[in-house]
Amino acid sequence: MLLPFGGCNIETFVRGQDPPVQEPVYVTESFTQVPLPKVDLLWIVDNTGSMAEEQSALADAFPGFVDTLEDAELGYHLGVVTTDVETDGAGVLQGDPWIITPAATDPACAFASAVSVGTGGLGTEAGLAALILALEEPNRSGANRGFRRPDAALHVVVVSDDDDDSWDALGADPVLEAIALLDDEARRTRLPAVFSAVVGDPGTGCRGALGDAGPGDAYARVVEATDGVLASICSADLSAVAEQLAALSVHYPARFALSAEPWTDAVRVSVDGDRLDDGWTLERDPPAVVFDAPPAARAGIEVRYQLEPEP
């Protein structure tokens, strides 16, 4: 008998007919891997006077970035803020539309326009403060409403030729504040929240065709804490960097919540009809099966387990 249970199909089996004996009850929950994983991509772009060449190179690299997102069939939100947090609109998404999605007429063109934020920003680059202002209240449900989704991974990318200077804006260690916010996002959604940086080389800075850049030490610490990408803004080819960032944004769900807690560890998992004896773990509180590597798009997943007998 097939019963609806928690949005999944659950098949209940009762073995035997002897009334005095309580037979074990098994359920099978069925899932389908999402065909269109979601990611919210927040770009923080330095808009100080030294960034004209870098912004132009970044805009030129975006067609490849968007192509990579669309090839992966991602349901993406793209948004851009600046490192200037001392003027009106700090942490507010730029551009029109201010949330770029696959439904845009030309997402690559809209994105390239949005990152061309100009060079009129104040000389203090505060990328980590901009991150916090963009994703916390009042902007989260105010000016930036709709950007951050509860069922989407998060990827934040800062592009700057100088290190972060957010102490005055935040009144606290900006690195620790940024890491705490990203950890909260990951816990809230149970999906990755990653920080990447296209900045000057840590410790030394760098010199390239686009100009000089100071060391991006603070940004590098947040990258390391969240397993992001650290790339040099002095790179001769920002297109390759942009495509690497896009590839990191592809996050298929690996965790599938169960509607009840298995009574024993004797859980059977199959993907597209093939039984898997390893490559996954069982979580108890709350109950879920978590794969070491996410199943492919549209894969069929079944989890069979025994319910605790009624007293």
Delineate the domains of the chain, giving CATH numbers in brackets.
38-248 (3.40.50.410)
Burial zone of 76 (CB within 10 Å; 0-12 exposed, 13-18 middle, 19+ buried) = buried
Angstrom distance (rounded) from CA 138 to CA 39: 22
Which tokens go with 113?
A: 């326009």
What is the pLDDT at residue 228?
92
At 238 the pLDDT is: 76
**For position 7, what pLDDT does the model report?**
45
User: pLDDT by residue (tens digit) across 126-168?
Assistant: 999 999 999 999 999 999 999 999 999 999 999 999 999 999 9
Q: What was the pLDDT predicted at 20? A: 56
Q: Which residue has the higher pLDDT, 23 or 281?
A: 281
Span 21-40, average pLDDT: 87
pLDDT in the model for residue 11: 52
> What is each CA distance from 139 to 53, 200, 210, 242, 298, in whole angstroms?
30, 29, 33, 27, 35
Angle at 192 between CA 61 and CA 165, to 5 degrees: 65
**What does the pLDDT read at residue 236?**
63
pLDDT at 4 over 50: no
Residue 8, pLDDT > 70, answer no
Does the pTM surpass 0.85? The reply is no
